[in-house]
Amino acid sequence: MSFIRRPVLYSALRSNLTSRLLRPAPRQPLFTPILCSPNLLERKYGTCSSTPHSLELGKSCWRCKEDLRSSEVFCHNSTCGTIQPIPTSVTFFDVLVGEEVFDVNIAQLKKKYLSLQQQVHPDSYTRKPQKEFECAQVQSAWLNRAYHTLRDPLHRAQYLLELRGVQVEESESLDDPELLMEVLEVREELEDAQTESEVDDIRLANESKLKESIQELSLAFKENDLERAKQLSIQLQYWVNIKKATQEWSPNKQAYVSH
Protein backbone atom coordinates (compact mmCIF):
# COMPACT_ATOMS: atom_id res chain seq x y z
CA MET A 1 0.00 0.00 0.00
CA SER A 2 2.94 2.37 0.51
CA PHE A 3 3.29 2.99 -3.24
CA ILE A 4 -0.26 4.39 -3.50
CA ARG A 5 -0.43 8.15 -3.06
CA ARG A 6 -2.84 9.23 -0.31
CA PRO A 7 -4.96 11.57 -2.50
CA VAL A 8 -5.52 8.71 -4.92
CA LEU A 9 -6.43 6.40 -2.08
CA TYR A 10 -8.83 8.93 -0.55
CA SER A 11 -10.57 9.19 -3.89
CA ALA A 12 -10.82 5.43 -4.12
CA LEU A 13 -12.25 5.23 -0.63
CA ARG A 14 -15.10 7.44 -1.70
CA SER A 15 -15.81 5.50 -4.86
CA ASN A 16 -18.72 3.12 -5.28
CA LEU A 17 -16.41 0.13 -5.13
CA THR A 18 -14.96 1.14 -1.77
CA SER A 19 -18.40 1.96 -0.43
CA ARG A 20 -19.46 -1.57 -1.29
CA LEU A 21 -16.43 -3.05 0.42
CA LEU A 22 -16.56 -0.95 3.56
CA ARG A 23 -20.27 -0.36 4.11
CA PRO A 24 -21.51 -1.92 7.38
CA ALA A 25 -23.61 -5.02 6.91
CA PRO A 26 -27.40 -4.72 7.31
CA ARG A 27 -28.53 -5.55 10.81
CA GLN A 28 -31.86 -6.10 12.45
CA PRO A 29 -33.06 -3.59 15.08
CA LEU A 30 -31.66 -4.71 18.41
CA PHE A 31 -34.65 -3.63 20.43
CA THR A 32 -37.86 -5.30 19.30
CA PRO A 33 -39.89 -5.93 22.46
CA ILE A 34 -41.37 -9.43 22.43
CA LEU A 35 -42.30 -10.07 26.04
CA CYS A 36 -45.40 -8.01 25.55
CA SER A 37 -46.41 -9.74 22.34
CA PRO A 38 -50.05 -8.99 21.52
CA ASN A 39 -50.19 -12.11 19.35
CA LEU A 40 -49.20 -14.36 22.22
CA LEU A 41 -50.57 -12.83 25.41
CA GLU A 42 -52.55 -9.64 24.93
CA ARG A 43 -54.74 -11.04 22.18
CA LYS A 44 -55.54 -14.12 24.24
CA TYR A 45 -55.72 -12.78 27.77
CA GLY A 46 -55.77 -9.00 27.56
CA THR A 47 -53.27 -8.61 30.39
CA CYS A 48 -50.14 -7.39 28.65
CA SER A 49 -50.26 -3.67 27.92
CA SER A 50 -47.80 -1.98 25.57
CA THR A 51 -48.52 1.44 27.08
CA PRO A 52 -45.43 3.04 28.68
CA HIS A 53 -45.26 2.46 32.41
CA SER A 54 -43.39 3.89 35.35
CA LEU A 55 -40.60 1.47 36.21
CA GLU A 56 -41.22 2.12 39.91
CA LEU A 57 -44.88 1.10 39.92
CA GLY A 58 -46.19 0.25 36.49
CA LYS A 59 -48.33 -2.87 36.46
CA SER A 60 -50.44 -5.23 38.52
CA CYS A 61 -50.02 -8.98 38.85
CA TRP A 62 -52.47 -10.58 36.44
CA ARG A 63 -53.34 -13.22 39.03
CA CYS A 64 -53.40 -11.59 42.50
CA LYS A 65 -53.55 -7.92 41.38
CA GLU A 66 -50.53 -6.96 43.53
CA ASP A 67 -48.93 -3.66 42.44
CA LEU A 68 -45.56 -4.38 40.80
CA ARG A 69 -42.67 -2.53 39.20
CA SER A 70 -42.79 -2.78 35.43
CA SER A 71 -39.44 -4.59 35.33
CA GLU A 72 -40.41 -7.38 37.74
CA VAL A 73 -40.35 -10.80 36.10
CA PHE A 74 -42.30 -12.45 38.91
CA CYS A 75 -44.95 -11.25 41.35
CA HIS A 76 -43.22 -10.36 44.62
CA ASN A 77 -46.26 -11.40 46.67
CA SER A 78 -44.96 -14.37 48.67
CA THR A 79 -48.29 -16.17 48.31
CA CYS A 80 -48.33 -15.73 44.52
CA GLY A 81 -44.93 -15.54 42.76
CA THR A 82 -46.52 -15.86 39.32
CA ILE A 83 -44.47 -15.17 36.19
CA GLN A 84 -45.33 -11.78 34.69
CA PRO A 85 -45.41 -10.22 31.21
CA ILE A 86 -43.10 -7.22 30.87
CA PRO A 87 -44.32 -3.99 29.20
CA THR A 88 -42.57 -2.78 26.07
CA SER A 89 -41.30 0.27 27.97
CA VAL A 90 -38.97 -2.00 29.95
CA THR A 91 -35.46 -2.34 28.51
CA PHE A 92 -32.83 -5.06 28.65
CA PHE A 93 -30.95 -2.88 31.13
CA ASP A 94 -33.95 -2.57 33.46
CA VAL A 95 -34.16 -6.33 33.94
CA LEU A 96 -30.51 -7.45 33.79
CA VAL A 97 -28.47 -4.43 34.90
CA GLY A 98 -30.65 -1.93 36.73
CA GLU A 99 -29.47 1.18 34.90
CA GLU A 100 -28.72 2.24 31.34
CA VAL A 101 -24.93 2.38 31.22
CA PHE A 102 -22.32 1.27 28.71
CA ASP A 103 -19.94 -0.06 31.37
CA VAL A 104 -21.47 -3.38 32.42
CA ASN A 105 -20.02 -5.94 34.83
CA ILE A 106 -20.13 -8.99 32.58
CA ALA A 107 -19.79 -11.48 35.45
CA GLN A 108 -22.75 -9.95 37.29
CA LEU A 109 -24.72 -9.74 34.05
CA LYS A 110 -24.19 -13.45 33.40
CA LYS A 111 -25.11 -14.36 36.97
CA LYS A 112 -28.37 -12.40 36.78
CA TYR A 113 -29.20 -13.84 33.37
CA LEU A 114 -28.60 -17.45 34.39
CA SER A 115 -30.64 -17.02 37.56
CA LEU A 116 -33.64 -15.61 35.70
CA GLN A 117 -33.30 -17.97 32.76
CA GLN A 118 -33.39 -20.94 35.11
CA GLN A 119 -36.57 -19.60 36.72
CA VAL A 120 -38.42 -18.89 33.47
CA HIS A 121 -37.35 -21.92 31.45
CA PRO A 122 -40.45 -23.27 29.68
CA ASP A 123 -39.67 -26.85 30.75
CA SER A 124 -40.59 -25.82 34.29
CA TYR A 125 -44.03 -24.65 33.14
CA THR A 126 -45.28 -27.61 31.13
CA ARG A 127 -47.78 -28.50 33.88
CA LYS A 128 -48.70 -24.91 34.65
CA PRO A 129 -51.73 -23.08 33.19
CA GLN A 130 -51.37 -22.30 29.48
CA LYS A 131 -50.96 -18.60 30.12
CA GLU A 132 -47.94 -19.15 32.39
CA PHE A 133 -46.37 -21.59 29.93
CA GLU A 134 -46.72 -19.14 27.04
CA CYS A 135 -45.38 -16.28 29.12
CA ALA A 136 -42.37 -18.42 30.10
CA GLN A 137 -41.67 -19.08 26.43
CA VAL A 138 -41.48 -15.41 25.50
CA GLN A 139 -39.68 -14.50 28.73
CA SER A 140 -36.96 -17.06 28.01
CA ALA A 141 -36.49 -15.86 24.42
CA TRP A 142 -36.41 -12.21 25.48
CA LEU A 143 -33.90 -12.82 28.27
CA ASN A 144 -31.65 -14.71 25.87
CA ARG A 145 -31.71 -11.83 23.41
CA ALA A 146 -31.18 -9.29 26.18
CA TYR A 147 -28.13 -11.12 27.53
CA HIS A 148 -26.46 -11.57 24.16
CA THR A 149 -27.06 -7.91 23.33
CA LEU A 150 -25.66 -6.54 26.59
CA ARG A 151 -22.64 -8.81 26.89
CA ASP A 152 -21.27 -7.66 23.51
CA PRO A 153 -19.75 -4.14 23.52
CA LEU A 154 -20.74 -3.36 19.93
CA HIS A 155 -24.33 -4.54 20.31
CA ARG A 156 -24.58 -2.85 23.69
CA ALA A 157 -23.45 0.46 22.20
CA GLN A 158 -25.86 0.17 19.28
CA TYR A 159 -28.70 -0.69 21.65
CA LEU A 160 -27.94 2.24 23.95
CA LEU A 161 -27.91 4.56 20.96
CA GLU A 162 -31.28 3.19 19.81
CA LEU A 163 -32.75 3.75 23.27
CA ARG A 164 -31.57 7.36 23.10
CA GLY A 165 -33.04 7.94 19.67
CA VAL A 166 -29.83 7.70 17.64
CA GLN A 167 -30.02 5.42 14.63
CA VAL A 168 -26.94 4.05 12.86
CA GLU A 169 -28.03 3.47 9.28
CA GLU A 170 -26.65 0.45 7.44
CA SER A 171 -25.31 2.70 4.66
CA GLU A 172 -23.26 4.86 7.02
CA SER A 173 -19.48 4.64 7.06
CA LEU A 174 -16.68 6.51 8.76
CA ASP A 175 -15.96 10.09 7.80
CA ASP A 176 -12.28 9.80 8.76
CA PRO A 177 -10.25 9.12 5.57
CA GLU A 178 -7.14 8.18 7.56
CA LEU A 179 -9.07 5.50 9.42
CA LEU A 180 -10.75 4.25 6.27
CA MET A 181 -7.33 3.94 4.67
CA GLU A 182 -6.12 1.96 7.66
CA VAL A 183 -9.07 -0.43 7.38
CA LEU A 184 -8.41 -0.92 3.68
CA GLU A 185 -4.73 -1.61 4.34
CA VAL A 186 -5.56 -4.25 6.95
CA ARG A 187 -8.01 -5.85 4.56
CA GLU A 188 -5.31 -6.14 1.90
CA GLU A 189 -2.79 -7.46 4.42
CA LEU A 190 -5.22 -10.23 5.31
CA GLU A 191 -5.82 -11.05 1.66
CA ASP A 192 -2.06 -11.27 1.09
CA ALA A 193 -1.24 -13.19 4.29
CA GLN A 194 0.46 -16.54 3.69
CA THR A 195 1.17 -17.74 7.22
CA GLU A 196 -0.56 -18.00 10.58
CA SER A 197 2.18 -15.82 12.05
CA GLU A 198 1.28 -12.95 9.71
CA VAL A 199 -2.38 -13.24 10.67
CA ASP A 200 -1.48 -13.36 14.37
CA ASP A 201 0.31 -10.03 14.02
CA ILE A 202 -2.78 -8.52 12.40
CA ARG A 203 -4.99 -10.05 15.09
CA LEU A 204 -2.92 -8.66 17.96
CA ALA A 205 -2.81 -5.17 16.46
CA ASN A 206 -6.56 -5.28 15.90
CA GLU A 207 -7.24 -6.36 19.49
CA SER A 208 -5.49 -3.21 20.65
CA LYS A 209 -7.74 -1.12 18.41
CA LEU A 210 -10.81 -2.94 19.72
CA LYS A 211 -9.91 -2.17 23.32
CA GLU A 212 -9.16 1.45 22.52
CA SER A 213 -12.50 1.93 20.75
CA ILE A 214 -14.38 0.36 23.68
CA GLN A 215 -12.61 2.65 26.15
CA GLU A 216 -13.46 5.68 24.03
CA LEU A 217 -17.08 4.53 23.78
CA SER A 218 -17.26 4.31 27.56
CA LEU A 219 -16.10 7.90 27.87
CA ALA A 220 -18.46 9.13 25.14
CA PHE A 221 -21.49 7.62 26.87
CA LYS A 222 -20.39 8.96 30.26
CA GLU A 223 -20.23 12.43 28.73
CA ASN A 224 -23.51 11.83 26.86
CA ASP A 225 -21.73 12.65 23.61
CA LEU A 226 -24.06 10.61 21.42
CA GLU A 227 -22.66 11.77 18.08
CA ARG A 228 -19.19 10.71 19.19
CA ALA A 229 -20.60 7.41 20.47
CA LYS A 230 -22.27 6.85 17.11
CA GLN A 231 -19.03 7.37 15.19
CA LEU A 232 -17.15 5.12 17.60
CA SER A 233 -19.75 2.36 17.23
CA ILE A 234 -19.27 2.50 13.45
CA GLN A 235 -15.51 2.36 14.01
CA LEU A 236 -15.86 -0.58 16.38
CA GLN A 237 -17.88 -2.45 13.75
CA TYR A 238 -14.85 -2.35 11.45
CA TRP A 239 -12.51 -3.77 14.10
CA VAL A 240 -15.05 -6.47 15.00
CA ASN A 241 -15.31 -7.54 11.36
CA ILE A 242 -11.53 -7.62 11.00
CA LYS A 243 -11.36 -9.80 14.12
CA LYS A 244 -13.89 -12.17 12.59
CA ALA A 245 -11.91 -12.31 9.35
CA THR A 246 -8.69 -13.21 11.21
CA GLN A 247 -10.52 -15.98 13.07
CA GLU A 248 -11.85 -17.41 9.82
CA TRP A 249 -8.53 -17.14 7.97
CA SER A 250 -6.89 -20.25 6.56
CA PRO A 251 -4.02 -20.66 4.06
CA ASN A 252 -6.34 -21.91 1.33
CA LYS A 253 -9.17 -19.47 1.96
CA GLN A 254 -9.18 -15.84 0.90
CA ALA A 255 -9.88 -13.49 3.80
CA TYR A 256 -12.83 -11.16 3.45
CA VAL A 257 -13.62 -8.33 5.82
CA SER A 258 -17.40 -8.02 5.67
CA HIS A 259 -19.17 -4.77 6.51
3-state secondary structure 22-75: HCCCCCCCCCCCCCCCHHHHHHHHCCCCCCCCCCCCCEECCCCCCEECCCCCEC
Q: Which residue has the higher pLDDT, 110 or 189?
A: 110
Task: Read off the pLDDT of residues 218-231 as tens digits, 9 standing for 90 and up.
Answer: 999 999 999 999 99
pLDDT digit string, tens, across residues 9-62: 444 444 443 443 444 444 444 444 333 333 334 333 333 333 333 345 578 998
Whether 218 contacts 102, CB under 8 Å: yes
**One fold for 58-151 and 177-248:** no
**Domain spanning 177-248: which superfamily?**
HscB, C-terminal domain (1.20.1280.20)
The domain ranges of the chain are: 58-151, 177-248
CATH class (in words) of the domain with range 58-151: mainly alpha
φ, ψ of residue 171 to 5 degrees: the values are -90, -5
The rounded mean pLDDT for the chain is: 80
Most confident among 69-73, 76-80, 107-111 (mean pLDDT): 107-111
